Amino acid sequence: MPKTTENPYVVQPVMKALKVLELVARHGHEIALTAVSKELRIPKTTTFRYLQTLTAAKFLDHNRATDRYTLGPQMRAIARADASVSKIRTLARPAMTELMHEFNETVNLAVKGNGTIVYIDLIEANRSLRMQARIGDSHPMHSTALGKAILAFLPEAERQRQLDLPLTERTGRTLLEREEIERQLRQVARTGYATEMGENEDGAMCIGAPILDENGYPVAALSISAPLMRMPHSLAAKAGARLREIAAGISARLGSQPAAAG
Amino acid sequence: MPKTTENPYVVQPVMKALKVLELVARHGHEIALTAVSKELRIPKTTTFRYLQTLTAAKFLDHNRATDRYTLGPQMRAIARADASVSKIRTLARPAMTELMHEFNETVNLAVKGNGTIVYIDLIEANRSLRMQARIGDSHPMHSTALGKAILAFLPEAERQRQLDLPLTERTGRTLLEREEIERQLRQVARTGYATEMGENEDGAMCIGAPILDENGYPVAALSISAPLMRMPHSLAAKAGARLREIAAGISARLGSQPAAAG
DNA sequence: CATCGAATTCCGCAACACGAAACCCGTGTT
DNA sequence: AACACGGGTTTCGTGTTGCGGAATTCGATG
């Protein structure tokens, strides 16, 4: 009876906690428990629990000195990540179209997820036999050119943590040897682009270059994917150089300083 | 056993829903129910409910065509609001210090809340008798110079909605007549600053000017408050002009076009 | 038409969120 | 100093309501 609003699937505690989150966020500055409770007409105890939970999840911050709550780091991180992704997508789109026309192969854009890369955009070549990924798909880092491009530019500690995770074998050619992977990554760091030959999908290959943010952190990568048979070494090298160039251009517009070579 | 982590006050549904929110947000693009469920190891039914709830609260968006979820408008709105507030605070701070020294009275910065103004910063004059508000305090719109400055520049529809609400009487001098208030607001719109004399706090007065965002919307206001006895008309006029000037400068840096006079 | 995977709905159970009230603590008051 | 007050924290018994397994529908795909 209290809220037979419509959707029988809404979970009340969650809904109310989101209202609390919203109120605190929109308040613009520190707000105290009682104020939230009064404003939202939610009993003090319950409000207290929500504030605790939201704080524990870092969505809110609790100023112990004043006993008041503010927007937390998690919210800001999410907001930044979101803004960053849309910015990357916007910046990359024209270059992707251009690349697709230049090589007449599918061009992909992916961001670094947690241990994976996630496709956030792609422009398909207009050919009958073409490489298919779908926006939103996740793929392992170590078996894709996109992932390898990102891995190669990750800070050492994070790269190691990444490679410590179990590496899934996607095809018979997927690299699984730590040594071999690290050798390749050093190579990628030197040349500025990564290649992958049938390691993620049989018969397919991919060439990728990293996109770095203002801190030089590889937030995303750009790639061209094609059937192995259509991409001879010479062409791959040319594509790699182009990708590196274009990705660097996007990085620059994200505020990244051009990395000093060697 | 599952999560006796520490805080006995965290409510599980909320915590888990926040994890869902975070996952979807960080994913960078549309993600489907099953993917979320698998990734977070939360049963499908439960995940479904959280996604529904988050969507109902506009924290997520549900693409009916693909049956996938993305970050929703609410999150973006909160993020924008937060960024805007911190930007305003940062931009205003130096000017506020300057103003405080110039008049040797307390300078206040407030944003428009829902039917109220909320102090987000203030610089106190170093005098024994000084006006006191506290960061985070809310005051009514109609009884403060800050509020009147904002009201005067609100779009007509919103201003009317605002004035339709019951108007609390803070002191014997608080304006309560709709006619009188609207007359004053027109005056404020002309002169570019608002005054309030003992209408909010006995013996205190305040002069405020609006800060407009890139759409010309009054998101905040800047004010000088002082004991009535220390602020004769002539000084008040001078302060008003300065406030208008400085607030306009901040507005400009927020991307606002200077409003065409009359 | 059959099949599969995904999303939605159903339903019975007990976990656990709820909120009143008690408690604690720091502030300001007499 | 004692006191009341307001705000935050803790306790605790109750019954709501969130849970998740299973059944069902939906929508692609072959």
CB contacts < 8 A, A to B, total: 143
Tell whether B145 and B19 lie within a shared domain. no
Task: Give the C-alpha separation, B189 to B187, whole Å.
Answer: 5
pLDDT at residue A22 in the model: 94
pLDDT at residue B151 in the model: 95
Per-residue confidence at A131, pLDDT binned at 50, 70, 90? low
A82 CB neighbours strand D below 7 A: no
Q: Which DSSP symbol is given to B3?
A: -
Tell whether A143 and A203 lie within a shared domain. yes
Nucleotide nearest B31, CA–C1', reads: C6
Residue B6 within any structural domain of the chain: no
Q: Is any Cβ of chain B less than 8 angstroms from the Cβ of A24?
A: no
A46 CB neighbours strand C below 7 A: yes
Residue A151 within any structural domain of the chain: yes
pLDDT at residue B3 in the model: 38
Task: Give the C-alpha separation, A60 to A47, whole Å.
Answer: 13
Q: What is the mean pLDDT of residues B224-251?
A: 93
Output the domain CATH number for residue A52: 1.10.10.10
Residue B2 within any structural domain of the chain: no
pLDDT at residue B244 in the model: 96
- With CA atoms as reference, report the closest residue to A219 among A244, A188, A243, A250: A250
Total domain count for chain B? Answer: 2
Is the pLDDT at A125 greater than 90, yes or no? Answer: no
Tell whether B238 and B140 lie within a shared domain. yes
Chain B: closest CA distance from residue A93 (Å): 15
Tell whether A111 and A228 lie within a shared domain. yes
DSSP assignment of chain A equals -TT--S-TT--HHHHHHHHHHHHHHHH-S-EEHHHHHHHHT--HHHHHHHHHHHHHTTSEEEETTTTEEEE-HHHHHHHHHHHHHHHHHHHHHHHHHHHHHHH-SEEEEEEE-SSEEEEEEEE--SSSS-----TT-EEESTTSHHHHHHHHHS-HHHHHHHHHSPPP--STT----HHHHHHHHHHHHHHS-EEEESSSSTTEEEEEEEEE-TTS-EEEEEEEEEEGGG--HHHHHHHHHHHHHHHHHHHHHTTPPPPPP-
Is the pLDDT at B135 greater than 70, yes or no? Answer: yes
| Closest chain B residue to the Cα of A111, Cα to Cα | B28
Task: Give the C-alpha separation, B196 to B187, whole Å.
Answer: 13
DSSP assignment of A187-216 equals HHHHHS-EEEESSSSTTEEEEEEEEE-TTS
Task: Give the C-alpha separation, A110 to A208, whole Å.
Answer: 10
Is the pLDDT at B44 greater than 50, yes or no? Answer: yes
Task: Give the C-alpha separation, A30 to A65, whole Å.
Answer: 11
Type of residue numbered B13: P
Distance in Å, residue B216 CA to nucleotide D11 C1': 52
Chain B: closest CA distance from residue A78 (Å): 6
Tell whether A29 and A140 lie within a shared domain. no
Per-residue confidence at A262, pLDDT binned at 50, 70, 90? very low
pLDDT at residue A261 in the model: 44
Which chain C nucleotides are covered by protein, judged by CB under 7 A?
Answer: 5-10, 16-21
pLDDT in tens, B45-84: 999 999 999 999 999 999 888 889 999 999 999 988 888 8
Per-residue confidence at A2, pLDDT binned at 50, 70, 90? very low
Domain carrying residue B45: 12-71
Tell whether A90 and A149 lie within a shared domain. yes
Q: Across chain B, what does the average pLDDT equal? A: 87
Per-residue confidence at A116, pLDDT binned at 50, 70, 90? confident
pLDDT at residue B169 in the model: 78
Per-residue confidence at B262, pLDDT binned at 50, 70, 90? very low
Q: What is the 3-state secondary structure (H, E, C) of A138-166?
A: EEECCCCHHHHHHHHHCCHHHHHHHHHCC
More confident residue, B239 or A128: B239
Nucleotide nearest B10, CA–C1', reads: C17
pLDDT at residue B1 in the model: 37
Tell whether B41 and B98 lie within a shared domain. no
Type of residue numbered A149: A
Q: What is the mean pLDDT of residues B84-97?
A: 92
DSSP assignment of B114-168 equals SSEEEEEEEE--SSSS-----TT-EEESTTSHHHHHHHHHS-HHHHHHHHHSPPP
Is the pLDDT at A129 greater than 70, yes or no? Answer: no
Is the pLDDT at B35 greater than 60, yes or no? Answer: yes
Interface of A with B in 167-196 (CB under 8 A): none
A42 CB neighbours strand C below 7 A: yes
B5 CB neighbours strand C below 7 A: no
Is the pLDDT at B5 greater than 70, yes or no? Answer: no
Q: Is any Cβ of chain B less than 8 angstroms from the Cβ of A4?
A: no
Q: Quote the tokens at residue B37.
A: 């469920």
Q: Is any Cβ of chain B less than 8 angstroms from the Cβ of A44?
A: no
Which of the listed residues B54, B71, B88 is the one where a domain comes to its end? B71
For an interface test with B, which of A12, A18, A71, A84 has the most B Cβ atoms less than 10 Å from its Cβ?
A18
Q: Quote the tokens at residue B74.
A: 């609410």
Residue A6 within any structural domain of the chain: no
Which of the listed residues A23, A51, A71 is the one where a domain comes to its end? A71
B5 CB neighbours strand D below 7 A: no
Residue A239 within any structural domain of the chain: yes
Tell whether B109 and B146 lie within a shared domain. yes
Residue B41 within any structural domain of the chain: yes
Tell whether A62 and A93 lie within a shared domain. no
B43 CB neighbours strand D below 7 A: yes
- Residue B52 belongs to what H/E stretch? helix B44-56
Is the pLDDT at A127 greater than 80, yes or no? Answer: no
Q: What is the mean pLDDT of residues A201-207?
A: 87
Tell whether A89 and A41 lie within a shared domain. no
Tell whether B82 and B31 lie within a shared domain. no
Which of the listed residues A50, A71, A92 is the one where a domain comes to its end? A71
pLDDT in tens, B178-212: 899 999 999 999 999 999 998 888 888 999 999 99
Task: Give the C-alpha separation, A45 to B195, whole Å.
Answer: 41
Is the pLDDT at A167 greater than 90, yes or no? Answer: no
Q: First CA to last CA across chain A, in angstroms?
A: 68
Is the pLDDT at B261 greater than 60, yes or no? Answer: no
| Closest chain A residue to the Cα of B74, Cα to Cα | A22
Output the domain CATH number for residue B137: 3.30.450.40
Q: Across chain A, what does the average pLDDT equal? A: 87
Residue B258 within any structural domain of the chain: no
Tell whether A120 and A53 lie within a shared domain. no
Question: Rounded to the nearest 5 degrees, what angle is found at the Cα of B5, between the Cα atoms of B3 and B11?
Answer: 60
Distance in Å, residue B34 CA to nucleotide C3 C1': 19
Say which residue the tokens 């009201």 belong to: B151
Residue A192 within any structural domain of the chain: yes
